[in-house]
Amino acid sequence: MTTGLIFDIVLAFSLVVLAIITLRQRTPGESVVQLMIFGLLLALSWLRVDAPDLALTEAAIGSGVTGALLLAALHRTGFGTPFPSAVSPWIRYPVTIGCALLGAVLSLVVMYTWDQPAGLTDPAYAHLEESGTQNPVTAVILNYRGYDTLLEIGVLLVAALSVYTLSGPASGTPVKPPGPIFRFYMRVMTPVFWLVVPYMVWVGGRAPGGAFQAGALLSGLGALTLLGPTPWPLRLKRRVVRWGLSLGFSLFLVTAAWMWQYGNLLAYPTEQAATWILLIEIACTLSIGISLTVMFAGCAGWLHEDPERAV
C-alpha cells in the first residue's frame, strides 16, 4: 500500500468524522468553525483527485465565503445560543435508518459500476483548440456549456437581489472600531488583493483560476472593507451597486443574443472565442464579487443603514 493511498484513507475518514462532529456542536458559532475546517480539508482532498481549479474555488467560496456569511448571520442573531434539544426519537431514528440504507445502496452501486468507460474527457480535449482557452474547465463552463453558467450567474443575481430585498431597515449591531492589527492587515492586504484578482482572471485562460475564484477574492476584499475603519462600500449609490450586480448577467445575455447571427445562442466563432470569454470573465468577476459582498452585508443586517444610500 502506497503512502498516497494511506493519506487518502486517513483524509477521507477524517472528512466523514468532521461532517458528523460539525452537526453535533452545541452552539451555532462552534458549528460554523467546524464547517470551515471541513471545507478546507475538502479542498485538500480535491487536490488529490487532480482538481486544482475546484480546490481553489472550494477553499475561497465553499469554506471562506460560506463561513463569512454564516458568521455574519450569527452577528445578527447571536453566537452563543445553544441549540435546543433534538427532535423526538419517532422522527430521528427512522430518518437515520433511511439515510443509512440510502448510503449503503449508493456505495454498492458505485462499487459495482466502477469500471464503466470514462465520461466526456476525450470530446472535451478534442475541441480545446477551437474553444478560445487552454484551460479545459474554462472551456467547459464558458464555451461548451455556456448556458449553465449564464443561468448560474442569473441565480446569483436573483439570490443577491432577494437578500437585498429581505434585509429591511438596518438591524445589525455595528461592528466595533478595528484595532491596530486589523488596520495594518488592511493596509498590507488591499494592494495584494488588487494585484491577485486581475491575475486570477487572466491566468484562468491557461491554468487553474478564472472568474469564480477571482470573484470570491474580490468579495473577500469587500467583506474586509465592510469591517474596516472606513466601510466605504456602504456609502456607494444604490444605482452603482445595481449596475455592478447585473453587469455579468447583462453582458452574458447580450453575448448570447449577439451570437444569434452566427446561427446559435452562445456558439462563438472560433477566432472570436478568446475575446468574448475574457470579456465575460471580467464582467462576471465584478458581478460575483459585488453579489457576494452584498450577501455578506445583507446577512449581517448592515444593508440599508441610510435610506438614501445603501450597498
Q: Closer CB to other proteins, residue 57 or residue 225?
A: 57
Smallest distance from other proteins to CB 174, Å:
16
* Interface mask toward other proteins for 74-113; x: CB under 8 A: x-xx---x-xxxxx---xx--xx--xx-xx--xx--xx--
Query: Does 195 help bind other proteins (rule: CB under 8 A)?
Result: no
Query: Does 33 help bind other proteins (rule: CB under 8 A)?
Result: no
Q: Report d(CA 297, CA 93) in Å as an integer.
A: 39
Query: Does 275 help bind other proteins (rule: CB under 8 A)?
Result: no
Please provide the DSSP assignment of 191-215 as one string: HHHHHHHHHHHHHTTTSS--HHHHH
Q: Closer CB to other proteins, residue 89 or residue 180?
A: 89
- C-alpha cell of 211? 472568474
Q: How far is CA 136 from CA 125, 152, 185, 208, in A?
A: 7, 19, 36, 10
Q: Which of residues 217-246 bind other proteins (CB under 8 A)?
A: none
Query: Does 184 help bind other proteins (rule: CB under 8 A)?
Result: no
Q: Report d(CA 230, CA 243) in Å as an integer.
A: 23
DSSP 8-state class, residue 266: T
Picking from 87, 15, 74, the residue whose alpha carbon sits closest to that of residue 44 is 15
Q: Closer CB to other proteins, residue 169 or residue 180?
A: 169
Q: Which of residues 112-171 bind other proteins (CB under 8 A)?
A: 114, 116, 118-121, 124-125, 136-137, 139-141, 144-145, 148-149, 152, 155-156, 158-160, 162-163, 166-168, 171
Query: Does 188 help bind other proteins (rule: CB under 8 A)?
Result: no
Picking from 10, 6, 68, the residue whose alpha carbon sits closest to that of residue 39 is 68
Q: Which one of 34-42, 183-191, 256-264, 266-274 is the stretch in contact with other proteins (CB under 8 A)?
A: 34-42
Q: Closer CB to other proteins, residue 69 or residue 234?
A: 69
Query: Does 288 help bind other proteins (rule: CB under 8 A)?
Result: yes
Contact 35, 70 (CB under 8 A): yes
Q: Report d(CA 39, CA 46) in Å as an integer.
A: 11
The letter for the amino acid at 270 is T
